[in-house]
Amino acid sequence: MQVEDILFRNQLDIANAAEKIQEIIQAISNGIQWNRQTKTQLDLINADHLIQATEPGEVLLRVKFTKDASIDNVVEWSEWSDAWLEIARGISMATGGTPEDVRIIGASRGSFVLDLVSVAGFAKAVSYILKEVLDRVQQLVEIKKAFEEVRGLKIENNKAALELEQAIAEHKEKSIIEVTEKSVAKITEDVEMNGEDVSVLKRAIKRLFEFFDKGGEVDVRVPEPEITLDENGEEITGDGEVERAELASLVEDIRRLENQIKKIGYDPSD
């Protein structure tokens, strides 16, 4: 009604009406932006509350099912449940735990978010895999940009475009192999595993790669350092703090890569 009122009162004065309508659009845009910022702040508050609910030595992971990894029905939920059971089983076994050690402590509606807690070793392994995936994504972005440029030329002979499309597919297949082999080597460097357990771990890594590639996200919340003092009041750096520092370094690398990729404008669902 407000738009009709503007047009009526201004007797189709296009310049004045356009200005008024632009003001309305700006007001709506400001409202949407405020809503998004408020939701982000509430999510952070919620996450902080969940961190406080974790046990000593546990790490909070916020698993976000977004874009092509979104959950809209029970069939998709069943498929991703199976995937995350494989992920939890494979990585837990490789880090000295069991799937039951990965606990669900919360869930959110909208873009489906699952709040998990795990031991630091599991969170560290997931973070390492994500960092390796993001490294490959940066390379994939460059190939996709070249593909879009060639497609934009509208060349009648589309051989170059087909070759670039094939290069994208080949890069993804190569990336899965590289990430899997590198991650297995890193995760098992201090663990002896038999062939069957290694196969289970490889399947877990591939499922996690698929989740990230489809646009899913895992936000690892690094716990605050636990300060322990000796009898002289000096801080003691225990094994737990060393592992926490390693996790913090991985998460910092992930944030840097995510920001670089966002600047390029990469969308996994494209």
Note whether 126 and 208 are within 8 A (CB).
yes
Start-to-end C-alpha separation, the chain = 38
d(CA 42, CA 49): 11
d(CA 5, CA 59): 56
Average pLDDT, rounded, for the chain: 79
Percentage of the chain beyond pLDDT 90 is 35
Identify the band that residue 237 occupies on the pLDDT scale cut at 50, 70 and 90: low
Query: Who has greater pLDDT, 32 or 67?
Result: 67
* Closest residue by Cα to residue 133 from 62, 209, 214, 216: 209
Mean pLDDT of the 236-257 span: 85
Dump pLDDT digits (tens) for 7-24. Answer: 455 455 555 655 665 666
Pick the range with the lowest mean pLDDT from 62-71, 227-236, 255-264: 227-236
| Helices (H), ranges, 54-158 | 74-94, 120-152
| Structural domain spans, the chain | 54-264
Place of tokens 């350092």: 225
Note whether 224 and 102 are within 8 A (CB).
no
Angle of helix 239-264 relative to helix 120-152, nearest 10 degrees? 10
Strand, helix or coil at 256?
Answer: helix
Dump pLDDT digits (tens) for 70-105. Answer: 988 889 999 999 999 999 999 999 998 999 999 988
Identify the band that residue 115 occupies on the pLDDT scale cut at 50, 70 and 90: confident
Tell me what pLDDT residue 108 has. 78
Mean pLDDT of the 169-194 span: 90
Query: Who has greater pLDDT, 144 or 120?
Result: 120
